[in-house]
Structure 1
Amino acid sequence: MTSVNTSCSTNMTVWKHTTNQLYTYVYLIIFIPGLLCNTLALWVLCRFISKKTKAVIFMINLTIADLAHVLSLPLRIHYYFKDEWPFGSGLCMLCFYLKYLNMYASIVFLVCISLQRCAFLLRPFCARNWKRRYDICISAAVWLVVGLCCSPFILMRRKSNSGNNTTTCFKDLPMRQLGLTSAISMMVGAELLGFLGPLIVIGVCTYLIVKSMRRRNQKQQSTGSTRKALRMVRVCTGVFLFCFAPYHINFLLYLMVTQNIITNCEAGQAIKIFHPISLCIASLNCCLNPLIYYFLTTEFKQQLSQHGSSVLRGRLMSTESTSSFRD
Structure 2
Amino acid sequence: MSVDTFTCNSPENQTIIRDYQHQIYAVFYTVILVPGLIGNVLALWVFYAYIKETKKAVIFMINLAVADLLQVLSLPLRVYYYLNNSWPFGKFACMVCFYVKYVNMYASIYFLACISLRRCRLIFQPLRYDGSKRRQDRSWCLVGWLFVCFGCLPFPLLRRDYENVYCCFSELPMMQLSKELGVSLVTLAELMGFLLPLAVVVTCTCLTAASLREKTSVLQDTGEKHKAFKMVLSCAGVFLVCFVPYHITFPLDFLAKSNGSISHALKGAVLHVHPVTLCLASLNCCLDPVMYYFTTDEFKRRLSRPELQESLQLHLRGSCSTNRDV
Matches within 5 A, 1:85-104: 85-104=87-106
Question: Structure 1 115/6 Cα, relative in aligned 2: closer, same or farther at 3 Å?
Answer: closer
- In structure 2, the residue matched to 1:69 is 71
1:8·1:269 contact (CA, 8 Å) conserved in 2? no
- In structure 1, the residue matched to 2:321 is none
2:8·2:264 contact (CA, 8 Å) conserved in 1? no
Question: Structure 1 153/314 Cα, relative in aligned 2: closer, same or farther at 3 Å?
Answer: closer
Per the normalisation by structure 2, the TM-score is 0.89
- In structure 1, the residue matched to 2:255 is 256
- In structure 1, the residue matched to 2:133 is 131
Question: Structure 1 5/266 Cα, relative in aligned 2: closer, same or farther at 3 Å?
Answer: closer
Question: Structure 1 316/248 Cα, relative in aligned 2: closer, same or farther at 3 Å?
Answer: closer
- In structure 1, the residue matched to 2:322 is none
List per-residue Cα deviations over 1:98-127 (Å, max 9, x = no partner): 000000000000000000000111111222
Matches within 5 A, 1:35-184: 35-128=37-130, 130-162=132-164, 166-184=165-183
- In structure 2, the residue matched to 1:310 is 310
Question: Structure 1 225/261 Cα, relative in aligned 2: closer, same or farther at 3 Å?
Answer: same
1:160·1:167 contact (CA, 8 Å) conserved in 2? no
1:89·1:159 contact (CA, 8 Å) conserved in 2? no
- In structure 2, the residue matched to 1:321 is none
CA distance in 2, matches of 1:246, 1:90: 30
2:32·2:283 contact (CA, 8 Å) conserved in 1? yes
Letter in 2 for 1:61: N
CA distance in 1, matches of 2:23, 2:248: 24
- In structure 1, the residue matched to 2:286 is 287
Match status 1:187 vs 2:186: yes
Instruction: Report how far residue 214 of structure 1 moved.
Output: 0.7
Question: Structure 1 129/82 Cα, relative in aligned 2: closer, same or farther at 3 Å?
Answer: closer
1:45·1:300 contact (CA, 8 Å) conserved in 2? yes
1:118·1:209 contact (CA, 8 Å) conserved in 2? yes
- In structure 1, the residue matched to 2:198 is 199
Instruction: Report how far residue 128 of structure 1 moved.
Output: 4.2
CA distance in 2, matches of 1:127, 1:208: 19
Instruction: Report how far residue 53 of structure 1 moved.
Output: 1.8
Letter in 1 for 2:96: L
1:100·1:150 contact (CA, 8 Å) conserved in 2? yes
CA distance in 1, matches of 2:313, 2:94: 46
Question: Greater shift after overlay, 7-16 or 55-64?
Answer: 7-16
Percent identity (aligned): 46
Instruction: Report how far residue 7 of structure 1 moved.
Output: 7.2
1:262·1:268 contact (CA, 8 Å) conserved in 2? no
CA distance in 2, matches of 1:227, 1:259: 47
- In structure 2, the residue matched to 1:324 is none
CA distance in 1, matches of 2:36, 2:124: 34
Which has the larger Rg? Answer: 1
CA distance in 2, matches of 1:48, 1:261: 50
Instruction: Describe the SS at the equivalent of 1:31.
Output: helix
CA distance in 1, matches of 2:130, 2:66: 27
Instruction: Report how far residue 216 of structure 1 moved.
Output: 2.6
CA distance in 1, matches of 2:16, 2:77: 23
Question: Greater shift after overlay, 292-301 or 136-145?
Answer: 292-301
Question: Greater shift after overlay, 174-183 or 47-56?
Answer: 47-56
Letter in 2 for 1:287: C
Question: Greater shift after overlay, 172-181 or 45-54?
Answer: 45-54
Instruction: Report how far residue 36 of structure 1 moved.
Output: 0.7
CA distance in 2, matches of 1:259, 1:283: 23
Per the normalisation by structure 1, the TM-score is 0.89
Question: Structure 1 270/6 Cα, relative in aligned 2: closer, same or farther at 3 Å?
Answer: closer
Instruction: Report how far residue 6 of structure 1 moved.
Output: 4.9
For structure 1, the residue ranges without an aligned partner over 5 or more in a row are 318-327
- In structure 1, the residue matched to 2:232 is 233
CA distance in 2, matches of 1:311, 1:139: 29
Letter in 2 for 1:237: A
Letter in 2 for 1:309: Q
Instruction: Report how far residue 262 of structure 1 moved.
Output: 2.9
List per-residue Cα deviations over 1:69-117 (Å, max 9, x = no partner): 1000000011111111111100100000000000000000000000000
Alignment RMSD: 2.2
For structure 2, the residue ranges without an aligned partner over 5 or more in a row are 318-326
Letter in 1 for 2:266: A
Letter in 2 for 1:284: L
CA distance in 2, matches of 1:291, 1:315: 25
Instruction: Describe the SS at the equivalent of 1:126.
Output: coil
